[in-house]
A and B are shown apart, each in its own frame.
Chain A
Amino acid sequence: MSHIKDMRQKVQLTEHTVFNVNSTNFPGTYSDFDDVWSQERFEERFQIDIISLSETDMEFDMVGIDAAVANAVRRILLAEIPTMAIESVAIWNNTSIIQDEVLAHRLGLIPIKADARLFEYKQKDAVEPTSEDTLQFSLKIKCTRNNVSSDATDPNVLYKNHRVATKDMEWVPLSGQEHLKGIRPVHEDILITTMRPGHELIMDLYCVKGIGKDHAKFSPVATASYRLLPEIRLLREFYGEEAELLQKSFSPGVIKLVETPDGQTMAKVANARLDTCSRNVFRHDELKDDVSLLRVRDHFIFSVESTGILPPDILVSEAIKTLMGKCQKFLHELDSVNIGKGKHKKGGKKN
């Protein structure tokens, strides 16, 4: 029974392969289990715990949901949350050594601190930028020689403006954008190019709204991913040197050594969550048969690293909103299909 339970709920990591990777808890797969979808059971089991949250990073647990849904959230985070990024560059002068196209490409990848929710997608045939769909920056900088008589070789001393960074980009509000505040590149110190005396850049940069599916520069996250919660089972007790070896085979903090009443040290699983699943315990012949490494299939430890445009919690809620929107759209599509065939719809209740 416990074997079947494991098979339903856990992914098993052996030395050379991973077993039970697919979720099998569909109605009818197992005779003794009731896997029919029920909203109550889902609500009871589903939970989200935010482990840590900062300006750019967030770790949260999503428990009790199918991999498909968790993955959908991840995929939407990567590819479908809109942001503003530089899409076209009008180069009036570029005498630096960097090529126009390469420079434009570099500029495109700079994250722009602007809430894309306040903007519209630019119409395909629109030529003129409007205040609804475009943000304009200007980059005007010229490198000059510093008047120092010393025989310095440090370019920082010798030249002015030899490093063009994101702080040199200046936001130019279009008419009707005066109310917007704090439009700027997320980071001040991203190096765009370096120059030497006589080099000059004069260019206008136009940001538009877009999604990561179109180009990675629109992706709001550096990456968003999840891992499954590890679970370590010790099938026997480990004492002394073996216990220490066991401890070393896992990430720090996973295994703790406890003193038994008879003065021996014994290994115990302290916090399996910390394990990186390196499976190095399988290197030791004396240990490998007595340890079982598992991962909980429906416990996703999400990690969202925002590029800094929007805080990660907002990104996740946006992602969930997008997912909901997609579901709604799908339901709507189903409805419209059913119109012609008479009504016997039941409709999913998934959120």
Chain B
Amino acid sequence: MESLEDIMRMDKAKLSAPVKTIDEKWKLLPAFLKTKGLVKQHIDSYNYFINVEIKKILKANDKILSDADPNFYLKYLNIYVGMPNVQESLGIAQTMAPHECRLRDITYSAPITVDIEFVRGKQTVIKKNVEIGRMPIMLRSSNCVLTGKTQAEMAQLNECPMDPGGYFIVRGTEKVILIQEQLSKNRMIVDTDSKGNVQCSVTSSTHERKSKTYVYTKKGKFYLKHNIFSEDIPVAVAFKAMGVACDQDMIQLVGNEEEAFDAMAPCLEECHQAQVFTPLQALEYISSKIRQRMYGVKRSKADEARDVLKNVILAHVPVVDWNFKPKAIYLALMARRIVLTQAGKIKFDDSDYYGNKRLELAGQLLSLLFEDLFKLYNMDLKKVADKNIPKVRATEFDITKFMRPDPITNGLSNAISTGNWTIKRFKMDRGGVTQVLSRLSYIACLGMMTRINSQFEKTRKVSGPRSLQPSQWGLLCPSDTPEGEACGLVKNLALMTHITVDVDEMPIARIAVSLGVEDIENLCRDENGDFYTVFLNGNILGMTNHYQKLVTTFRKLRRAGYIDAFVSIFPNHSHKCVYIASDGGRVCRPYIIVQNEKPLVTSKHIVDLTREFRCFEDFLHEGLVEYLDVNEENDCMVALYESHINKATTHLEIEPFTILGVCAGLIPYPHHNQSPRNTYQCAMGKQAMGTIGYNQRNRIDTLLYALAYPQAPLVKSKTIELIHFDKLPAGQNATVAVMSYSGYDIEDALVLNKASLDRGFGRCLVYKKQTCAVKRYANQTFDRIMGPKVDRDTYKPIWKHQALDMDGIAAAGVRVENRQVMVNKEMPTVTAPSLQPQMGQIGQTEYKETPITYKGAEPSYIERVLITCNQEESFLIKMLLRQTRRPEVGDKFSSRHGQKGVCGLIVPQEDMPFSDLGICPDIIMNPHGYPSRMTVGKLIELLGSKAGVLEGKFHYGTAFGGDKVTDLSEVLIEHGFNYLGKDFVTSGVTGEPLSAYIYFGPIYYQKLKHMVLDKMHARARGPRAVLTRQPTEGRSRDGGLRLGEMERDCLIGYGASMLLLERLMISSDIFEVDVCGQCGLIGYSGWCQYCKSSKDVSTLKMPYACKLLFQELQSMNIVPRLSLKRYNEL
């Protein structure tokens, strides 16, 4: 503390100057999103795949040789993914815009071409641009036609500029490859197995193989476990097999501590007992435990074991020239981890910790799939070569004739369209990897792009993987997760999260070595030295005794741009390790760097940013901002606000509200809400109707909801602006009175003002698609479309065909009612090619009517009709049907705070309460919705909206910020309103004032997709199932309403036996059977076939299902007999 005199002596100006803060550092966020976009993860990953990874895959599989001809070879020189196009007839390729693909049910894909060098006859030929397949193109990726287009150009292509891209269009449907979360590969994880033994496991993953290796303790001994071994191998044997013959070396590899000696001693003993003394003996021991023999060349047992050790066990540790030392060290380190964990020196690893997770994106998944398909393709080519080369033909064998694009094209597009990811070499068979992009609302679409799917099983009842992990802070949205079985397993990215792609290891290793990392083989474990082991992507790189220097220099180099920005480095002091990670799939986000208690980003930089002198990349290049992943974050001190910076601080958060994701970002004042409410809103925001994109009127979707008059919310948040929700809104600002009105507002029901509905509140448009394909068949017949049938007398079309135009297709703008025909299609009765060749002229083909009819309680209008053809060149008729709906009792509404409710009553305006200004509410909401829900954010939203309306501006309700309640209240006072937002209100029914002040003002309300019209259902009689003759089930089949078990129980309890009989039999599947009283079997028309008599046959009624059961039992040799008695003989 400075003394008073010191302060007095200081410069006046300096004293009075305000403490400088970076006012608008949040502006980094729009800059970040501008360069990266909202779905940058997907696009980055895909770009990496088609530009880099695919070339690596080619290089790894670049040669095809044939067993038939030693001179034959095919070598791939290069591979390219072109621009998306479509092959129209005659093989002319045309560039293709995504929207046309959507409309015409085509795949948005580009040709994959290769340059090849191959042997034809006796000469080698180089051929360029050979197409080997077609790659579905991700929208807005580097090869998409939309990249770099301006808004006007987008409009020309029928694309919405707000659309995030990052999805595929496969056969006309938009498909997203969801982000998959999994445990990171090639890292040691120490935990306990199901029996409580400590184990250390590593999932090795290389291009060829994926395997999991365990080291675990059992009864104080260490074993090596792997699927390839039928029995677990004592580690000592494994060490011996790897050439560590000397027992002392073995122990020293594990460690010099007392614990290491103690732990290893029993292992050595076991090794001796097994009569394994030399490496050769060890190898033979191991080979005897190998489960599956490798076929092919016969080799000695030792060679076989050596091969397994080299390629299968810890596959990711490279073995160069049969030098097993690195692998032995790695194995020893695994054992050491267990020893230290048991000694309590280090902790168990937490597999839920987000630093141990990797996210797999479209690029990685596609590259796995492509490599598999490419290998298969090459194998097929080889087979073709083997088969065809020995044959003597006039023309020389030309392999390019057999290079068909279909297998790869179909493999890729089938995988994306079904979501079944089958990769043979990893024995991977995953389903549900892709999903149809939800276009219910703009938010639903964005939310889907940021969704993370966990590989964890949904049925298991473990809380660990589901609960929110502290290490997810800032990277995953804490609010946005579904309720129910997938709770916590499906997550969403936060606003600023970035997912890394692979970075080349070589330069990093070189830099590390020049920073003093020494080869581990040259060192022995120092007793108490300060040596840290350095890992690069899970592999041991070496050791250093100046880890601090290594880490700081490394970071400095990274900030200076000499190392890729996404490479992370961090020391782990309990492990005594430095980990460097450059692998793909790590989550990270940017921070402002703080040096000497000052953030490097200053107000001047922000000014430059707003003037567009600088972009986000510049901040990165200049070392003002850097990306940290979860692990490196743990080695940093991050200040949340500038005022929190102290001596130890290394980084500063850019903005606190970025811990939320896209969906939670819509909620105003979420930090005032009870947390589950925000979670509910995240789920509901995706069901809100509104606008889905600027191109929504050009789309023909199976189902599309749109609001007639969508409004931007009066209380915005920064996130809303960043994701442009205010331009594609989904909701309306309704004036809400929080009060009780009538009894129709219990259980969250809302009371709506009829005049508001008359004026267009909540009015929505529902679009549905109807498709019809006009096909050609194998016997040269084809479907035809006939004109409308005409009434014989009036010469007007019959009622059923009233909607049809002259061409037999309903005209645009026409109204169609239930069961009217929209396309009058006819299909030939015989479509199979006839076996006998038809002689002479072809007979008249007969047709049967297969019209497309309209089904629905309410009539629809035809918005538009599209007649086009798809890739198979069959005619395609798509019709868009439109309904305009006004809200009715039972329609679902929700505010942005997880407060949903259905409309319970619609009240005329004159009955509505009104304020002094004559304002009537649009919605009356029951105040009982508040106390238990604790959605204080909604209360503040009302104040904010009210103040905003009075001032004519939008207020902010940004998370952890936003406009203050006191400020909002001041605005209310200024305009003559009550400070608390409560108004003096008069009842519209009695005309007298209400005895309470009413909380009154606008709240943003969403209309949800659940509407009565789509759900209403009743049936008196209708269709029955064929087998059981019981009424069908479900609304879509006009089914009956089930009287279930519990209802049945009630009726039994009450004793309403006749009602039961009526419900369960008479109104359901009553059936009259003739039963023979003699044999008890079922006869027919008064005759018993078994007794050959009609003497004792009587007719009785039973459920058809019962009769069916008897007959089915008979068919399996069980005879159910009915014993009959007269009712008066009982």
Contacts and interface: CB of A to CB of B under 8 A. Distances in A.
A65 to B, nearest CB: 10
Interface string B986-1024: 101011111111000000000000000000000000000
B916 A217 contact: no
B973 interface: yes
B923 to A, nearest CB: 16
A278 B976 contact: yes
B859 to A, nearest CB: 11
B708 interface: yes
Contacts of A101: 861, 882, 884
A18 B758 contact: no
Nearest to B912: A78
A225 B985 CA distance: 11
B759 interface: yes
Interface stretch (A68-76, A125-133, A306-314, A325-333): A68-76
B992 A213 contact: no
Given A94-B813, A216-B909, A227 B991 contact: no
Contact of B991 (A19, A70, A99, A277): A70
B909 to A, nearest CB: 6
B920 interface: yes
Contacts of A295: 993
B995 A18 contact: yes
A283 interface: yes
B992 A22 contact: yes
A191 to B, nearest CB: 13
Contact of B994 (A16, A21, A213): A21
Interface string A271-290: 00000111110010000000
B697 interface: yes
A124 to B, nearest CB: 20
Given A18-B996, A276-B976, A68 B991 contact: yes
Nearest to A14: B997
A79 B910 contact: yes
Given A67-B990, A102-B765, A105-B760, A216 B910 contact: no
Interface string A75-99: 1001100000000000100100101
Interface in B719-767: 754-755, 758-760, 763, 765
Contacts of B997: 16-18, 279
A78 B758 CA distance: 14
Contact of B863 (A11, A99, A215, A225): A99
Nearest to A300: B991
Contacts of A67: 990-992
Given A99-B765, A280-B978, A303-B918, A216 B990 contact: no
State the majority secondary structure of interface residues on A. mixed
A224 B988 CA distance: 11
B908 interface: yes
A284 to B, nearest CB: 11
Contacts of A226: 986
Contacts of A292: none
A109 interface: yes
A70 B992 CA distance: 10
Contacts of B882: 99, 101
Contacts of B916: 225, 227, 276-277
Nearest to A23: B992
A227 B992 CA distance: 10
Contacts of B708: 102, 105
Nearest to A70: B991
A219 interface: yes
Nearest to B978: A278
Nearest to A153: B152
A246 to B, nearest CB: 14
What band does the interface of chain B fall in when counting residues whose beta carbon is under 8 Å from A? 35 or more
B977 interface: yes
A322 interface: no
Contacts of A102: 708, 763, 765, 884
A216 B755 contact: yes
Given A74-B991, A228-B993, A216 B977 contact: no
B757 to A, nearest CB: 8
B993 A11 contact: yes
Nearest to B909: A78
A245 to B, nearest CB: 13
A103 B1030 CA distance: 47
Contacts of B919: 223
A323 to B, nearest CB: 13
B572 to A, nearest CB: 58
Interface in A1-59: 11, 13, 16-19, 21-23
A38 B493 CA distance: 75
Interface in B678-692: none
What band does the interface of chain A fall in when counting residues whose beta carbon is under 8 Å from B? 35 or more
B977 A276 contact: yes
A318 interface: no
A226 B995 CA distance: 17
A170 interface: no
A144 interface: no
Contacts of A16: 997
B984 interface: yes
B979 A99 contact: no
A162 B758 CA distance: 27
A251 interface: yes
Contacts of A71: 988, 990-991
B994 A223 contact: no
Between B760, B977, B984, B997, the greatest number of chain A beta carbons within 10 A of the residue's beta carbon is seen for B984
B758 A21 contact: no
A274 B979 CA distance: 18
A132 B876 CA distance: 51
A79 B995 contact: no
Given A215-B758, A216-B759, A18 B994 contact: yes
B914 interface: yes
Given A101-B884, A213-B908, A216-B754, A278 B991 contact: no
Contacts of A72: 991
Interface string A188-212: 0000000000000000000000001
A242 interface: no
Contacts of A18: 984, 993-997
B160 to A, nearest CB: 15
Contacts of A280: 973, 978-979
A168 interface: no
A278 B977 contact: yes
A326 to B, nearest CB: 14
Interface string A220-264: 000111111000000000000000000000010000000000000
B979 A79 contact: no
B325 to A, nearest CB: 72
A9 to B, nearest CB: 13
B910 A75 contact: yes
Contacts of B996: 17-18
A146 B992 CA distance: 59
Between A94, A102, A303, the greatest number of chain B beta carbons within 10 A of the residue's beta carbon is seen for A102
Contacts of B920: 223
Nearest to A15: B997
A99 B864 CA distance: 11
A158 B314 CA distance: 71
Interface of B: 697, 708, 754-755, 758-760, 763, 765, 813, 861, 863, 882, 884, 908-910, 914, 916-920, 972-973, 976-979, 984, 986, 988, 990-997
29 contacts: A11-B993, A18-B993, A18-B997, A19-B995, A22-B992, A67-B991, A71-B991, A99-B765, A99-B882, A100-B813, A100-B861, A101-B884, A212-B909, A212-B910, A213-B908, A215-B758, A216-B755, A216-B909, A217-B758, A223-B920, A225-B914, A227-B916, A276-B916, A278-B977, A278-B979, A279-B984, A280-B973, A280-B979, A283-B979
Given A79-B909, A223-B920, 13 more contacts: A17-B995, A17-B996, A67-B992, A101-B884, A102-B763, A105-B760, A212-B755, A216-B909, A219-B755, A277-B916, A278-B972, A278-B973, A278-B979
